[in-house]
Structure 1
Amino acid sequence: MTTDPGTPRRAPAGAAVLREDVTDAIRAAVFEELAAVGFARMSIEGIARRAGVGKTAVYRRWKSKLSLVLDLVSAFAAEGLPAPATGSLYGDVRALLEVASHALRHPVASQVIPDLLVEAARHPEISDAIKTALLDPQQGVAALVVRDAVARGELPEPTDPDRALDLIVGPLYWRLVVVRAGLPKGYLDELARGAVAALRA
């Protein structure tokens, strides 16, 4: 018996087709669950209930809540940070602070990031994922900011991009993630001026 070449092939029996809308619903539910109860109390059951799916749908995509969270954190790395190109060191630093502050003040991120930082001390996998998702992209952007400033003669040649990142974003992380305080009017302008002065010193 021959097969008509014009007949579309059917998927092999038993081959699971993962619906993208279900995957998106589960990912959204994870962020909501993390924000509501934290990583330690988060469960696959709670995620499935919040997403409106069965536990099997979650396990079909991820083997555990840890692998699920690691996947989501790592996904941030793919998005990256926009590299500022304002034409001046102050402008680039101020733009970088604006983007970072917007991300850190997001209602979900403000709940999830501190919790994941605590869990990173217990789980090396989470620590590595956070480094890949949060630190590595910011280091890349800081390197570009420093490179452009050196090329314009605004910074000396041996300026260390890692030190620059500490001076630019470190105080912002401290205020928004650790102290969890608001940003007074003009705070980002003052922080940008202080970071630029410190880098030039």
Structure 2
Amino acid sequence: MTTNADADAVADEPQPRPRRRAPAGAAVLREDVTEAIRAAVFEELAAVGYARMSIEGIARRAGVGKTAVYRRWRSKLHLVLDIVSALAVQGLPAPETGSLEGDLRLLYEVTSRALRHPVASQIIPDLQAEAARNPEIAEALQKTVREGQDGVASKILAAAVERGELRGGVDVELALDLISGPLYWRSVVVRGGKLPKGYLGALARATAAGLRAL
């Protein structure tokens, strides 16, 4: 019987045929094996936390060899940051509701759901604790989360300027902090837990008003 580890080992080897599908020497990585590894990361983080998590443990949970993990990620830090990127709405299309307040409200709804994810509630505080001790983790975590949020927020700002809801030349850095900061602070850093009814709508209105005042 062929295991995921055996199958991935074979699939990851250079494929002689068909030639047009991959350059000579390229590794062909099976998507089902990649997803099995990602699922194993969630389980391992929930079970032992970031500090005690190991590539060996992840590979064991996924039913693959360690080489299958290392073909995809250089380290457990890069692997976890890949997960954090997804939770931080990396690559999320910018909302297009037709108004600044509507776009902010939709962004906050999506972000709030991501932050309430059971794994996110464990991963993010755990990584924050590690970041306090490890500058490499701190820099990578900040870059990953910030890029995910700022990419969407920048598109919201650009659309609002184009519609005439915001003036041109707005302080982008300050605007991005104003958009992304309050919800993250409220949900992760200070209080956590369930948000009060109507909170996201009120936050969207207050943020829109603040952006107009910049």
TM-score (norm. length: structure 1):
0.77
Task: Say whether 1:120 aligns with 2:131.
Answer: yes
Distance 1:161 1:84, change over 3 A: farther
Distance 1:89 1:20, change over 3 A: closer
Partner of 2:174: 163
Structure with the greater alpha carbon radius of gyration: 1
CA distance in 2, matches of 1:161, 1:145: 11
CA distance in 2, matches of 1:142, 1:54: 39
* Number of residue-to-residue matches in the alignment: 191
Task: Say whether 1:172 aligns with 2:186.
Answer: no
Task: Say whether 1:142 aligns with 2:153.
Answer: yes
CA distance in 2, matches of 1:38, 1:117: 12
CA distance in 1, matches of 2:157, 2:121: 28
Once the 2 structures are TM-superposed, how far is the Cα of residue 22 of structure 1 from its aligned partner? 2.6
Distance 1:20 1:170, change over 3 A: same
What percent identity do the matched residue pairs reach? 69
Deviations 1:133-187 (A, max 9, x none): 3212322322222222223222222322332222222121112212212111111
Once the 2 structures are TM-superposed, how far is the Cα of residue 195 of structure 1 from its aligned partner? 0.9
Structure 2 spans left out of the alignment, 5+ residues: 1-14, 19-25
CA distance in 1, matches of 2:89, 2:99: 27
Over aligned residues, Cα RMSD in angstroms? Answer: 3.0
Q: Do the aligned residues in 1 keep the contact of 2:89 with 2:111 (CA within 8 Å)?
A: no
User: How do residues 13-32 of structure 1 correspond to structure 2 at under 5 angstroms?
Assistant: 18-32=29-43
Partner of 1:5: none
Distance 1:195 1:59, change over 3 A: closer
Among 185, 188, 191, the alignment partner of 2:197 is 185
Once the 2 structures are TM-superposed, how far is the Cα of residue 70 of structure 1 from its aligned partner? 4.2
Partner of 2:91: 80
Structure 1 spans left out of the alignment, 5+ residues: 1-7
Once the 2 structures are TM-superposed, how far is the Cα of residue 84 of structure 1 from its aligned partner? 1.3
Partner of 2:53: 42
| Letter of the 1:88 counterpart | S
Which has the higher mean CA deviation after the structures are superposed, 183-192 or 157-166?
Answer: 157-166
Task: Say whether 1:195 aligns with 2:207.
Answer: yes
Give 3-state SS (helix, strand or coil) of 2:133's partner.
Answer: coil
TM-score (norm. length: structure 2):
0.73
Give 3-state SS (helix, strand or coil) of 1:184's partner.
Answer: coil
